[in-house]
Structure formats: C-alpha cells, structure tokens
Structure 1
Amino acid sequence: MDFRLDLIETKIEFFEAYDLKTLELKIDQQIESNKALLLDVFSINHQVVFNPKTEKMHYSAVVHFKAKR
C-alpha cells in the first residue's frame, strides 16, 4: 500500500449572501481555512443583482485560490 500526498495547486470557490457584510465574512473564513492548505487568494470576482422574488440585493463572489510558491 502506497501513501501519497498531493498538493492542491488551484481551487475555485463560490459564495453568495443577501448582504455584503455576510459575504465578506464567508470569504474571510474560507481564506483562513485555505491557509492550512497553503493556498493564497489569486483573484476575486464579485457581482450584485436585485432579486425581485425576495426584493433584496443578492451578492455573489468567485474566489480563485492558488498554491503558495
């Protein structure tokens, strides 16, 4: 039986919330978690749209993590 460890080179995660503060909190928590995997933020893209069903703004973000070099 072989035991192998592979590093995660890149990881993309998606987040959503109904207010900006909650979205930032979710992203910050995941950044801290990914530090244990030796991943840093490479880029962040975000978007906000109005949701007519809930009559609220809907915030979303995509965070691309890459391995530290």
Structure 2
Amino acid sequence: MEISLDMIKDKVECLQAYDFKELERTIEDRIGINKALMLRVKQVQHQVTFDPLRNKMLYSAVVHFAVV
C-alpha cells in the first residue's frame, strides 16, 4: 500500500437542495470541512430552476475551493 501526500490545490463541489436555507447550510458545512484541507472559497455560482416532478424550485450551487 502506498500513501500519497500530494496537496490539493483546487476542488469543485456541486450542491443542490429544494430549500434555499438548506442549500446555504450545506455550503457553510462544506466550507468548514474544506478549511481543514486549507482550502478557501474562490468562487460560487448558483442557479434556480423549477422541478416539474416535485412542483418545487430546485436551488443549485457550484463552489470552487482553492489554496490561498
């Protein structure tokens, strides 16, 4: 077994939720987790779309983390 200690320089996470507050909490949780990896938020993109199957709005976000 080989252990690699390469440093993560960039990471992109895609998140989604049917409630905006839930998406916000998820983003905050992911920020906390990535702080442990010494990654900070570089950019956030978000989008809202209607899900006709659930008859609800679907909120999504793409969060780009990078080494500062």
Aligned length: 68
Instruction: Determine the structure 1 residue equivalent to 2:19.
Output: 19
Instruction: Determine the structure 1 residue equivalent to 2:40.
Output: 40
Instruction: Determine the structure 2 residue equivalent to 1:64.
Output: 64
Counterpart amino acid of 2:17? A
- State the alpha-carbon separation in 2 of the partners of residues 2 and 61 from structure 1: 35
Instruction: Determine the structure 1 residue equivalent to 2:30.
Output: 30
The 1:55/1:4 distance shift into structure 2, 3 A limit, reads closer
Q: Render the CA deviation track for 1:36-61: whole Å, top value 9, x for unaligned.
A: 00000000000001111100000000
Q: TM-score, normalised by structure 1?
A: 0.91
Give secondary structure in 1 for the equivalent of 2:37: coil
Q: TM-score, normalised by structure 2?
A: 0.92
Structure 1: 4+ residue segments shifted above 6 A: none
Q: Which runs of 5 or more structure 1 residues have no equivalent in the other structure?
A: none
Give secondary structure in 2 for the equivalent of 1:48: strand
Q: Render the CA deviation track for 1:11-66: whole Å, top value 9, x for unaligned.
A: 00000000100000000000000000000000000000111110000000000000
